[in-house]
Amino acid sequence: MRIAKLARARQGATAVEFAILIGPMMLLLFGGIEVSRVMWINHALEKVALTSARCIGIRNNACSNAGAYDASRANSYVITAAAGLGITLVASNIVIEDGATCYGATGFSKVTLTKTVTSPIPKLIDLLSNSAHQLTAQACFPTAAS
């Protein structure tokens, strides 16, 4: 008699359905947030690389000294531009080449930035991608004639 009564009971059905669905829903929610965050960081790195390559290429005072390439000013510009977008870069994340070859042509300023992405949910990025948590952005800009 008790088993039949238990089989007809519906009081906990909503709680059981909620318990079954909460895991996938949270994975979907936080996965979407993490994917969006990684895409935003990647876009910000690309923007910083492009503006930095342009700054170096046109010999802007923020990236050069009296119209000549200055590595310390260029690095400082990259770090400041990234910080303005909320990205923390250090000198080891930055590779700047003045007079580089890009796309088979010479005479370019080339900036390559790398950033290691960390997540508050470490295993989530492993599930979402097969790549290491390293983002890379690269940009070239023609170097102005001196």
DSSP 45-85: HHHHHHHHHHHHHTT-TTTEETTEE-HHHHHHHHHHHHHHT
Mean predicted confidence (pLDDT) in 122-133: 60
134 falls in which pLDDT band (50, 70, 90)?
confident
Name every residue whose Cβ is closer than 8 Å to that of residue 58 and which is 6 or more positions away in sequence: 141, 144
92 falls in which pLDDT band (50, 70, 90)?
very high
Query: Beta partners for 102?
Result: 105
Q: Provide the 3-class DSSP secondary structure of residue 94.
A: strand
Query: Beta partners for 135?
Result: 115
pLDDT tens profile 99-120: 899 989 999 999 999 998 877 7
102 CB-contact burial (10 Å; exposed 0-12 / middle 13-18 / buried 19+): middle
Residue 124 has pLDDT above 90, yes or no: no
Per-residue pLDDT at 7: 67
Report the alpha-carbon distance of residue 26 to residue 140 in Å, rounded.
41
pLDDT tens profile 37-87: 889 999 999 999 999 999 999 999 999 998 889 999 999 999 999 999 999
Our count of domains for the chain comes to 1
Phi, psi of 90 (to 5 degrees): -120, 170
Q: Mutual orientation of helices 71-84 and 13-57 as an angle, nearest 10°? A: 150
pTM comes to 0.79
Mean predicted confidence (pLDDT) in 2-29: 81
Residues spanned by the domain of 45: 2-142
Residue 132 has pLDDT above 60, yes or no: no
